[in-house]
Every structure is written in C-alpha cells, then in structure tokens.
Amino acid sequence: MLLNREKSYTNIYIFYIVLCIIIYILGSLFIPLMEVDSVQYANISREMLQNKSFLQIFDQGRDYLDKPPMLFWLSAISMYLLGMNDFAFRLPSILLAILAIYGTYKFTLIYYRNEIAGLAALILASTQAMFLITHDVRTDTMLMAWVILSIWQFANWLNNRKWSSLIITFTAVAFGMMTKGPIALMVPVFSFAPHLIMHRNFKMLFRWEYLVGIGIIIILLLPMDIGLYQQFDLHPEKVMYEKTGTSGLRFFYWTQSFGRITGESVWHENDEFFFLFQNLLWGFLPWTLFLIFGLISECAKIIRTKFSLNKNEEWIVLPGFLITYTALGISNYQLPHYIYVVLPFTAIIAAKSLYSLIINWENKFFKNVINGINIFIYILVLSILLVLLLFTFSTNIYLVIACMVGMGLAFSFLMFKKMGAIPKVIHFALFTIITTNLLLTIFFYPKLLEYQLGNQVSKVIRQKNIDKNKFYLHQVYEERSLDFYSNYSYRNIENLSALKTNDYVLIKNELINQELLSNFNKIELISTFHVSTLNAAFLNPKSRESALTLYTILQKK
C-alpha cells in the first residue's frame, strides 16, 4: 500500500516538474533579456564568441573583472550552435536548473524516503525564484546546480567510497568556482563539516583523497587562472575600480568574495543581515510558510535533542543553509539572488515540513488551519496578478480570465480525477505559481520589455534598414541590449560635429537644443524606462509618462 502511494506521488511530482520546465522554456522564448545583468552576460558571451577571446573577457570592449567565465563559455557555445538569440543564451542555465532539481532529488533520497525526495525536487522546481532565474539569468542558476551536484556526490562518496563520486564532487566544485568563485567550495564545507563533527567522525575531516580532489580543482581552474593572469596581473597599469595594480587572481580568490566581509571590496549595498531572508520569503513562494515552519522545527529539534543525532541521520541541510546565510548576510554587498545558491536546502527543509504538516499529520484541525493560511496566500497572489495584468498594461480582460478559467479547469480535472492522491493544497499551490508565471510570461514581461531602450532602438534600426556602421551613441552608456539585439558593438561619440552626412546618433532628449536640430533631422522618438527598477509611477498608466526617459534618433543633414 505504501509503495503504491509513493509510486503515485512520484508520477504526480514528475508531471508537475515537467510542467514547470515547460514554463521555463516558454519564458526563454517569449521574454526578451533584461538589463542589467542578464543581457550584460548575454552580450559578453556574444563578444567572446565573435572575438574568439575565451580566456580574456571583455564587456563592450572594456576589460571585465566581475564574474568568472563559466556562464560566458557555456552560453557562447550554445549561441555558436543555435544562433545569437535569447533561447540560446538561456539554454545552458535551464539545463543546469534541471540538473539542480535532479540533484536535489537524488541527494534527499540518500537520507529520506522517496515521497520527501520527490516533494523537495517539486518544491525547488516550482519556487518563484526558479521561474525568475531561468529567464532573468544570473550566475546563481549555474552555481546552485554545481553546488548541489557536489553535495549529492560527496554524500554518495561518504556511503560508497567510489572514486567516481569523489571525482564528480571536486569537478563540480571547480565548475562552481569558475561560475561564481570560492563560495562553490565553501558551501559544501559549511554543510559537511558540521555533519561529520556531530557524528564524531573526525577522521573523515582529513583524508588523503581530498588532496587528489584539490589537485583536480587546481587543474580545472588553470584556464581561468591563465586568462586572469594574462589580462590583469601582467598589466598592473590597467585601471580597475578606480585604481591600478589590480590582480585578477587575488580579485577572484579573495576580494570578490571575502573582501565583501573584510571591507576590501569597493561594493557596498544592502548590508542588513536579514535582507536576503526578506527577499527569500517572496522568492520561495508558494512554499514560504512551509519553509518558515521547517526552519523553526529543525532548529527546535536539534536543540531539544541536545545536538545529538541518530546513526544515519543527516545534519547537512540545516547548517549548510544557516552558515551560508550567515556568511552572505554579514557581507557589505548583497543582492536578492545571492541566497539562491542554497535553494535546494530550503526546498528540502520545506519538503520535510510539508510532508509532516500536510501529508503525514493526523491532527485535522491544525492541518485545516495551515491549509487555510496557505490558500489565503495563494488567492492573494492571484489577485495581485489580476490587478497587475489588467491595470498596468490594460491587458484584454476576457483573454486573461479565459486563460485563468482554462488553467483552473485543467487543474481541477487533475486534482479530482487523475491526481487526487496528493493533498489539494499542493495542487492549489502549483496552480497558483504556474498560472502566475504563465500569464506573466505571455502578457506582462513582453509589454514591460517594450520600454527597454536597447530593444526599441534595435527594432527601429531593423525596420528602417539603418546601416549599423553609420549609427552612433551620444552619452548613452552600458545599454547592452542594443548591442546584443543588433549583434553589433556600437560606439559612443562625444563630438557630434564629427558625424558625417546621413550618420545617425541616439541621444537623450534633455541634451537636444535648437542649435543641434539645425544640423540634424529627427528620425524617431523613443520612450524608455529602466525595467529592473519598477515603481508605482511607471506601473500606473496615469503617471507613467512622468516616469519615462525620452531618447531621439537623429540623422545628420
């Protein structure tokens, strides 16, 4: 009976995970790349491919020293095979997101029953964060995959002592370091050191096999190290972050990560300790309540048992999350997606909580209370979605309602006819998050990205068949979407008088005067907004005009 139930649950989880992956792919097809990070990474990958500069990295022709090269390498290969487009850039990140889901399942299965492992994979696949970072691609998507792969394989090695598991572990760590630096090594250490100490397995903290693993990491990191050394260490005269003498090797192995804690890094923003947790609360929807209950329960349990564990019990997930969070939380520079490296851990914590509270708990009163709170949250999310779609861009109300009703009927059929084995609150959670992201993908994001400067300008250049070699920018900096969607690197020109007859220039309206217009013809007026900084003035159609920045394409007479 139990085996039949577990098999039924597994099939349902797989179905929903596949549905989430389909939404990832639709997002990669329908949603243009967004400034700043995502389209910047795409344009760096484009430049890398076109210039065949795979060890030394450039951003709009300038030396780039921020992120390691793994994302750019994989995206450049993908664009070489599939062409210069959004989907090709995003595909490696989507594939690694799928690896993260599978790795979470396999790691959880080592210590917990199949139902919890499947639930953890499903929760990870369906968090709002996963839908976001598979279309608004960051290095954290790949980092998360390499980290959970290394943790899964190291847990395997602890059980089977197979060299293949250990080799994959350290290979994944190296790939993670080439994705976002030393944090790819630190998270596994933060996770397994407490586990081994709690089990009094001190001899496993120091094994000769780790020296082989360190050797694997060093060898795999060599291409990146060579590129950094050639580009920066051999050229101390280069000015990076307003100073000379910057070592690329020191930057990646120390300053970019640990320097944010010591204060050596030049970056300072969002340094409150609970900043990441506040953002995790919405990023983990629709499972936030279960994560909160799970964290409280896990912490209470380890205190109640006086930090003692059973022989086969793991203490990897909770310390892995808490110690990593603490390390990131004391940093002087934080962005919401930084915590996504431990999304698999939060998914496992939430899965254990959901299984205990909803699937396996006999107290119907408290179960109904928890269900009621969650359903209220889901209805609130759907209500906000409706307001956003109907009010912000005046989306056709009948079309939106038709889509929601269609999705509702489909989920109702699945819930009551085909997949009634799992609790209805899980179906409702999945209906909420999948419907929300499907409608955002189809109706909201494409409309929003119409206000991105580079997208509009590249469209005008295509429509008017403007010669890219005669198109210039004037005081328009770091608009990578224009370069990427034009597949061309445009130049800024400071002296407009240097332009020749019939040359074009993109200029902000506030810089245009009557004297300038005597030498230029107006070709196109473009209304723009920095889409990653949404505010009430822009979202409100009545006040949107006041939030827009105007640019004009001029042609020299």
Band of residue 168 on the pLDDT scale cut at 50, 70, 90? very high
pLDDT higher than 90, residue 402: no
Reported confidence tier of residue 262, pLDDT bands at 50, 70, 90? low
Q: Which is more confidently placed, 150 or 11?
A: 150
Report whether pLDDT(8) > 80: no
Q: How confident is the model at residue 256 (pLDDT cuts 50, 70, 90)?
A: confident
Mean pLDDT of all residues belonging to the chain = 89
Q: What's the structural domain count of the chain?
A: 3
156 and 247, same structural domain? yes
pLDDT in tens, 322-342: 999 999 888 877 888 889 999
User: Which residues are CB-contacts of 51 (< 8 A; sequence separation ≥ 6)?
Assistant: 58
- Flag whether 365 is in a domain: no
In tens, the pLDDT along 73-93 reads 999 999 999 999 999 999 999
| Mean pLDDT lowest among 121-130, 132-141, 438-447, 509-518 | 509-518
For the residues 511-530, what does the mean pLDDT come to?
A: 89
Same domain, yes or no, for 408 and 321? no
* Inside any domain, residue 103: yes
Q: Are residues 96 and 235 in the same domain?
A: yes
Residues 433 and 286: beta-carbon distance below 8 Å = yes
Shared domain for 217 and 248, answered yes or no, is yes
Distance separating the N- and C-terminal Cα atoms of the chain: 82
Q: Is the pLDDT of residue 417 over 80?
A: no
**Cα within 13 Å of Cα(45), Cβ side:** 31
Do residue 542 and residue 416 come from a single domain? Answer: no
In a domain, 369, yes or no: no
Asked whether residue 3 is domain-assigned, the answer is no
**What is the model's pLDDT at position 1?**
46
Does residue 84 sit in the same domain as residue 218?
yes
Query: Whose CA is closest to 336, among 45, 528, 138, 504?
Result: 138
- Write the burial class of residue 252 (CB in 10 Å: 0-12 exposed, 13-18 middle, 19+ buried): buried
- Picking from 421, 449, 477, the residue at the C-terminal end of a domain is 449
Mean pLDDT of 302-330: 90
Q: Give the domain-ending residue among 359, 389, 419.
A: 359
**Residues 76, 51: contact at Cβ < 8 Å?**
no
What DSSP letter does each residue of 377-439 carry, written as one string? HHHHHHHHHHHIIIIIS---HHHHHHHHHHHHHHHHHIIIII-TTS-HHHHHHHHHHHHHHHH
CB-side neighbour CA atoms (13 Å) of 556: 14
Angle formed at CA 25 by CA 20 and CA 31, multiple of 5 degrees: 115
Instruction: Provide the pLDDT confidence category of residue 482 given band limits of 50, 70 and 90.
Output: very high
Q: What is the mean pLDDT of residues 107-128?
A: 95
Question: What's the pLDDT score for residue 3?
Answer: 52
Give ∠ CA 419-424-425 in degrees, rounded to 5. 135
CA dist list (Å): 180 to 43, 72, 145, 200, 201: 18, 12, 12, 32, 30
Q: What percent of the chain clears pLDDT 90, i.e. is strictly above it?
A: 62
User: Any residues with CB less than 8 A from the CB of 141 and at least 6 apart, and which?
Assistant: 93, 96, 97, 100, 133, 134, 340
DSSP-derived 3-state class of residue 523: strand
Domain membership flag for residue 245: yes
Of 294-308, 318-332, 405-419, least confident by mean pLDDT is 405-419
pLDDT range class, residue 439, cuts 50, 70, 90: very high
**pLDDT value for 136:** 92
Residue 104 has pLDDT above 60, yes or no: yes
- CA-based angle 367:369:372, to the nearest 5? 110
Q: How confident is the model at residue 254 (pLDDT cuts 50, 70, 90)?
A: confident
- Same domain? 251 vs 354: yes
Same domain, 317 and 431: no
For residues 263 and 408, state if they share a domain: no
In a domain, 514, yes or no: yes
Q: Is the per-residue pLDDT at 441 higher than 90?
A: yes
Residues 182 and 301 reside in one and the same domain: yes
Q: Which domain holds residue 517?
A: 453-556
pLDDT at 434 exceeding the cut of 60: yes
Span 506-519, mean pLDDT?
A: 89
Residue 153 lies in a domain: yes
Is the domain of 512 the same as that of 527? yes
Q: Pick the more confident residue, 320 or 534.
A: 320
8 A C-beta contact, residue 169 and residue 163: no
Q: Is residue 76 domain-resident?
A: yes
pTM: 0.92
Q: Do 349 and 381 share a structural domain?
A: no
